[in-house]
């Protein structure tokens, strides 16, 4: 009996001295670097947004975000990496939902919408079409007239063969029969802007974030934006809706997607960390300086946006007869 009492006493002492030992062995998530895969080349709007968040995470929470830019293949190879990643909350994709939805409708990618779960919406971008500031082209009709007068010599560039911008242009071209407007592809929006600046292409179709600095410097002239009304920062730029019809209104939501089986609690933690970052005045200021808006949506709200975009682009692809 005395021996048993001594053993029991020893166990009680251990419990008192080391009550948190089992918990300390389980470090809080995330306790190691988190990889964010950007399915575009470096230097573009998404890369900028990811790096602003990475700086905040490091400074405020000592959490490291490794930003990996993997352009090419219309973003499909990068998002396949996300779909196949270990579902432990340490790998996320940061795509534009429109191009992500477009490419999966058009070719075999190895993934579909059901292979991902939404985490958080971060920003919503408007698309814009620009030419060099000294170009004779003033609007979309002017671009089409120039292309018709110079077959094969007038072109437009986007960040991918299956980009949303190229899909929109295919639809617009249907209203301008006889126009030959070749499509030139690059790996990122920044590369599109660089090509236009170097006069390697006639026009560049990207997002306002990437084209804004060149407009402000006097190098580019925007000839169309996809917002429902003219943007306050570009009041003289006509919308696509004004020039081609009300159906040409479309934003480009961007946010984090995770492999389907990532645990709910880790999705919620990452969602809340991003929400906190997007509410920070410093982050807001850096986003604004880059021409980005902070458009937080929760995982559930973002899922509705993703589902709607997926359905809309599927219908648009059929209408545009994209092969």
Query: What string of H, E and C letters represents the secondary structure of 84-99?
Result: HCCCCCCEEECCEHHH
pLDDT in the model for residue 6: 52
What is the pLDDT at residue 26? 40
Helical packing angle, 97-106 and 76-84, nearest 10°? 90
Tokens of 26: 């389980």
Residue 24 lies in a domain: no
pLDDT value of residue 217: 96
Query: What residues make up the domain containing 313?
Result: 34-125+252-320
Residues 315 and 285 in one domain: yes
- Say yes or no: 154 and 204 in one domain: yes
- CA 185/CA 157 separation, integer angstroms: 6
Report the C-alpha gap between 140 and 223 in whole angstroms: 6
Tell me if residue 283 falls in helix, strand or coil.
helix
Question: Is 29 part of a structural domain of the chain?
Answer: no
Q: Is residue 22 part of a domain?
A: no
Number of domains in the chain: 2
Beta bridge partner(s), residue 123: 254
Note whether 57 and 276 are within 8 A (CB): no
239-277: pLDDT as tens digits? 999 998 888 888 889 999 999 999 999 999 999 999 999
We report the CATH number of the domain holding residue 213 as 3.40.190.10
Residue 10 lies in a domain: no
The token duo for 67 is: 């930003």
The terminus-to-terminus CA distance of the chain in angstroms comes to 84
Any bridge partners for residue 125, and if so which?
A: 252
**Helices 281-289 and 264-279, interaxial angle, to 10°?**
80
Per-residue confidence (pLDDT) for residue 27, from 0 to 100: 60
Residue 195 in domain: yes
The reply to whether 217 and 175 lie within a common domain is yes
- Extract the residue ranges of the chain whose pLDDT is less than 70: 1-27, 320-323
User: Residue 252 has what pLDDT?
Assistant: 85
Q: Which residues pair with 117 in a beta bridge?
A: 258
Q: Of the candidates 220, 244, 268, which is a domain's last residue?
A: 244
Token code pair at residue 120 = 């958080």
pTM: 0.74
Q: Residue 307's pLDDT is what? A: 93
Residue 28 backbone dihedrals phi, psi, to 5 degrees: -70, 145
For residue 220, the SS3 value is: strand
Which pLDDT score, from 0 to 100, does residue 320 have? Answer: 62
Residue 2 lies in a domain: no
CATH code at 267? 3.40.190.150
CB atoms closer than 10 angstroms to residue 238: 17
3-class secondary-structure state, position 69: strand
Q: Is the dihedral of CA 155, 75, 49, 118 positive or negative?
A: positive
Which residues on neighbouring strands pair with residue 184, listed in sequence order?
157
**Is residue 78 domain-shared with residue 213, that is, in the same domain?**
no
């Amino acid at each position: 009996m005395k021996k048993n009492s001594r053993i029991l006493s020893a166990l009680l002492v251990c419990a008192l001295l080391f009550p948190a030992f089992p918990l300390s062995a389980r470090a809080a998530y995330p306790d190691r670097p988190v990889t964010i895969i950007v399915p575009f080349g470096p230097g573009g709007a998404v890369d900028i947004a990811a790096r602003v968040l990475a700086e905040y995470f490091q400074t405020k929470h000592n959490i490291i975000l490794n930003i990996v830019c993997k352009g090419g293949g219309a973003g499909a190879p990068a998002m396949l990496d996300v779909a196949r990643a270990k579902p432990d909350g340490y790998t996320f994709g940061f795509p534009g939902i429109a191009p992500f939805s477009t490419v999966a409708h058009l070719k075999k990618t190895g993934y579909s919408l059901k292979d991902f779960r939404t985490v958080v919406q971060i920003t919503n971008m408007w698309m814009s079409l620009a030419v060099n500031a000294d170009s004779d082209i003033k609007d979309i009709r002017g671009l089409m007239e120039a292309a018709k007068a110079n077959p094969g010599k007038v072109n437009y560039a986007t960040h991918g063969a299956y980009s949303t911008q190229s899909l929109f242009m295919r639809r617009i071209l249907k209203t301008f029969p006889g126009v030959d407007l070749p499509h030139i592809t690059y790996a990122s929006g920044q590369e599109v802007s660089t090509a236009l600046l170097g006069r390697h292409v006639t026009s560049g179709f990207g997002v306002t974030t990437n084209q804004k600095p060149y407009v402000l410097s006097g190098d580019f002239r925007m000839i169309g934006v996809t917002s429902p009304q003219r943007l306050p920062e570009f009041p003289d730029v006509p919308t696509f809706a004004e020039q081609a019809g009300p159906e040409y209104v479309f934003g480009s939501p961007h946010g984090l997607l995770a492999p389907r089986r990532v645990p709910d609690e880790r999705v919620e933690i990452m969602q809340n960390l991003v929400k906190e970052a997007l509410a920070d005045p410093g982050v807001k200021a850096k986003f604004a300086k880059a021409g980005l808006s902070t458009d937080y949506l929760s995982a559930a709200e973002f899922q509705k946006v993703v589902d709607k975009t997926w359905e809309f682009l599927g219908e648009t692809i059929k209408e545009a007869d994209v092969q």
